[in-house]
Amino acid sequence: MKKHNFSAGPCILPQEVMQQTAAAVLDYDNGLSLIEISHRSKAFVDIMENARALVLEHLQLEGKGYKVLFLQGGASTQFLMVALNLLEKRAGYLNTGTWSKKAIKEAQIFDDIYEVASSENANYNYIPKGYDIPKEYDYFHCTSNNTIFGTQMKDFPECDIPFVCDMSSDIFSRQLDFTKFDLIYAGAQKNMGPAGTTLVIVKEDILGQVSRHIPSMMDYKVHISKSSMFNTPPVFAVYTSMLTLEWLKKLGGIASIEKINEKKARLMYSEIDLNPLFKGFATKEDRSFMNATFTLVNEDLKETFDTMWKDAGINGLNGHRSVGGYRASMYNALPLDSVKVLVEVMSELERKA
């Protein structure tokens, strides 16, 4: 049976990428597997250079002073790394969910971290608006999409200081003016590739402004100087991410995938709103196009609904314990047909109830 993968991460990947990666694991370079070639070899240096170039091309950042890194440690390491590299006196954070709260916690080892606004009072079901970002802060940090709570920033504030954004779960999914951001980071496993690498895009001129000593492994400038190869890079994850970026380019880039993502989201939220058996969690104006969160109005139907969607070949639909209910993650590679299958199951439940 065909599986419809709504998992929040690791993400669904394009089938052609899976096939190419599988073949490369067996033989990539004249009888050598992808995962046994030297990271210093021309074969892998070409992979790394192509992956970095594709990132800048997709985000329209070529020639604008940005450097691309493929690092390790996930977005969780970036929570600390951002502060180590950018924080001199104080910084402001927007608290919109679990991951932004964790980013604040890690950065607070330096004490001078302040929440400019928070939606914790409503269990993060909305994005705060109308807040001020003090100009004396060293940087402002936000999370563009919240996988657990199903909210997404549709607009970004004007910012006169370095602007840092965690885009782990919606990178490459929609058109934005990416020059608004001075540093973007994203764990690959939500929308770009397998777990194991973290994408960092940083405007080089914001670095080198802090007075502290930064450990080499945590210093963006060190990684830039070594072309993301200060230590052995995650070869498999970088290669698969490169293939996903090539797939996106053949599809027509971010402009094309954004239209597909909008169709998936409209179909999903239309069913949530029109079907009286379901209720959306996130405030409508802040709903994520990547992660739709919803619950059953009548929990007595849970066993029946769970059986129905599992029988339909749907995977990864259970919501996070912080919200409960269900979460349909609709990343770039999820086909529209998979959303149609889920919507039909929800409609069938209404007909049966």
Q: What's the pLDDT tens digit per position in 15-29?
A: 999 999 999 999 998
Dist CA 185 CA 332 (whole Å): 18
67, 138, 166, 286: which one is catalytic? 166
Annotation says 99 is catalytic? yes
The answer to whether the CB of 151 falls within 8 A of the CB of 169 is: no
pLDDT above 70 (res 167): yes
pLDDT per position as a tens digit, 120-132: 999 999 999 999 9
The reported pLDDT for the residue numbered 59 is 98
Q: What confidence tier does 68 reach under pLDDT thresholds 50, 70, 90?
A: very high
pLDDT above 90 (res 173): yes
Amino acid at 92: G
The reported pLDDT for the residue numbered 218 is 97
The reported pLDDT for the residue numbered 110 is 86
Q: What confidence tier does 1 reach under pLDDT thresholds 50, 70, 90?
A: low
Dist CA 66 CA 201 (whole Å): 6
**The pair of three-digit structure tokens given for residue 99, joined into one six-digit string:** 């991951």
Q: What is the percent of the chain where pLDDT is above 70?
A: 100
With a CB cutoff of 8 Å and minimum separation 6, the contacts of 193 are 13, 237, 238, 240, 241, 244
Residue 199's DSSP bridge partners are 70, 186
pLDDT per position as a tens digit, 243-290: 999 999 999 999 999 999 999 999 999 999 999 999 999 999 999 999
| Phi, psi torsion values for 233, nearest 5 degrees | -75, 160
pLDDT per position as a tens digit, 76-104: 999 999 999 999 999 999 999 999 999 99
Walk me through the domains of the chain, giving residue ranges and CATH numbers: 15-251 (3.40.640.10), 254-352 (3.90.1150.10)
- Mean pLDDT over the full length of the chain: 96
Dist CA 8 CA 293 (whole Å): 11
138, 182, 190, 247: which one is catalytic? 190
**The pair of three-digit structure tokens given for residue 158, joined into one six-digit string:** 């004007």
Q: What confidence tier does 11 reach under pLDDT thresholds 50, 70, 90?
A: confident
The reported pLDDT for the residue numbered 239 is 97
The reported pLDDT for the residue numbered 29 is 87
99, 203, 264, 286: which one is catalytic? 99
| Phi, psi torsion values for 135, nearest 5 degrees | -70, -20
Annotation says 190 is catalytic? yes
Q: What confidence tier does 30 reach under pLDDT thresholds 50, 70, 90?
A: confident
Dist CA 329 CA 80 (whole Å): 27
From residue 347, alpha-carbon distances to 166, 261, 271, 341, 352 in Å are 35, 21, 8, 10, 9
The answer to whether the CB of 91 falls within 8 A of the CB of 85 is: no
In three-state form (DSSP H/G/I as H, E/B as E, the rest C), the secondary structure along 77-127 is HHHHHHHHHHCCCCEEEEECCHHHHHHHHHHHHHCCEEEEEECHHHCCCCC
Q: What is the percent of the chain where pLDDT is above 90?
A: 95
Q: What confidence tier does 337 reach under pLDDT thresholds 50, 70, 90?
A: very high
The reported pLDDT for the residue numbered 83 is 96
